[in-house]
Amino acid sequence: MNFTKAEEKFLTYLKIFDGLNIQGSKNLTVCDLSFNDYLTAKYLKDKRVFNTIYNVAFSQIKTIDGIFSVPVQSNLAFTLNKLKCDLIISMGGTYKFQPLYDCVYSLHRALNLAGRLILVVYPDVYDEYGKDILNGLSQISQNAVKEKLNRWFVTLKNSLSNIFVDVKEETIMQETSLEEIKSIFGNENFFNTLFKEQEIFDTFFKPIETTNKKYTLSWRVIRALKI
């Protein structure tokens, strides 16, 4: 299921967007690094509080009124060096920040003074009893998905802390279903790094396929400031 079809069904990114409580201004420029088929950029446009909206994309370049499409040239860090903005946001797209340290420095260069960075990195998944589902499935499958996610989060936060200030963590909680969970981790931003093959993905989630439990997403978010 592609990003747009999944969003029509689950409204995953709209729920994240609402949870971020983004404050904008008609004088500000924002850049979207979510790599989710312009979904985040469209929500930013609908908010009607930004002067300019950039959407950086590796493929599927589109012409959308009010959104400036920026194709990645050479690599992401090189592309970011050409931009200037007041807010950079990424919803689930940080695994595209490769090589990481080059991208972090380019994020810093791209932001104006007092510019803000909002990165929605990945969601933890809990059942109705508070059990960490990703950790449990990682142990059963011997595929260290939870460890990979947590390691990336820590590495990303530490990298940002070396150059940004006021680096903070927060969470956004959402009720969810197994189908939505699989749509999130099945999209290219996570799948290509964590699973790579459909058989590995199917095997990972198989132990909970027949369960009838309620689940909660806990999106891990990093905010930072440039001074």
- Looking at residue 74, its amino acid is S
Distance CA 199, CA 201 (A): 5
CA 142 to chain centre: 25
Closest CA to 122 of 99, 91, 98, 97: 91
Q: Are 148 and 193 in contact (CB under 8 A)?
A: yes
Quote the radius of gyration of the chain (alpha carbons, Å).
17
Q: What is the pTM of this model?
A: 0.95
Strand arrangement, sheet containing 68-71: 68-71, 50-57, 25-32, 85-91, 111-127, 215-225, 165-176
pLDDT of residue 189: 95
DSSP codes of every residue in 19-63: HHT---EEEEEEEE---STTHHHHHHHHHT-EEEEEEEESS----
CA 177 to chain centre: 19
Q: Mean pLDDT in runs of 10 for the chain (227 residues)?
A: 92 96 87 97 92 91 92 94 96 97 97 97 96 97 96 98 97 96 97 95 94 92 97
pLDDT of residue 61: 86
